[in-house]
Amino acid sequence: MIASVVATLDSLVGDVQHIVDEFRNEPGIEIGVVGKGARRVPITIDSPVPDALEETTKRLQECRGVAFVDVVFVHFEDESASPAATHSGKMNHS
């Protein structure tokens, strides 16, 4: 499961870098480009299960200086529901 979220920081936060560094300590997180003085931090979360994704999002929300976290996109791939490949490598949709 992969999710894209955006953490919006409080307007009173001075140095954004300490918050970004705290985010980087979370497992399965990748931080997008954060410009100087930015108030929004794009984040990708790679999580093995939906519960872990929710827990990570909650921990981000609880970081000092974070106003809120918006979930922008969630991709869940259920491999058991994927069509099987044939011997030729083409997908069997029947």
Among 1-5, 21-25, 66-70, 88-92, the minimum mean pLDDT is found in 88-92
Q: Above pLDDT 70, what percent of the chain?
A: 82
Residue 21: inside a domain, yes or no?
A: yes
Does residue 25 fall inside a structural domain? yes
Largest Cα–Cα separation, the chain: 60
Q: Within a domain: residue 35? A: yes
Tell me how many domains the chain contains: 1
Mean pLDDT across the stretch 9-19?
82
Residue 70 predicted with pLDDT over 90: yes
Domain with 74 in it: 2-78
**Backbone φ, ψ for residue 17 (5° rounding):** -60, -35
Report the pLDDT value the prediction gives residue 32, as an integer from 0 to 100: 94
pLDDT digits (tens, 9 = 90+) for 19-53: 888 898 888 999 999 888 789 999 999 988 878 88
CATH number at residue 67: 3.30.70.920
Higher-scoring residue by pLDDT: 9, 76: 9
How high is the pLDDT of residue 62? Answer: 93
Element (H, E) at 77: none
Q: What share of the chain is helix, strand, coil (3-state, %, to 5)?
A: 25, 30, 45
Residue 44 lies in a domain: yes
Q: Are 22 and 63 in contact (CB under 8 A)?
A: yes
The overall average pLDDT reported for the chain is 83
The answer to whether residue 64 is domain-embedded is: yes
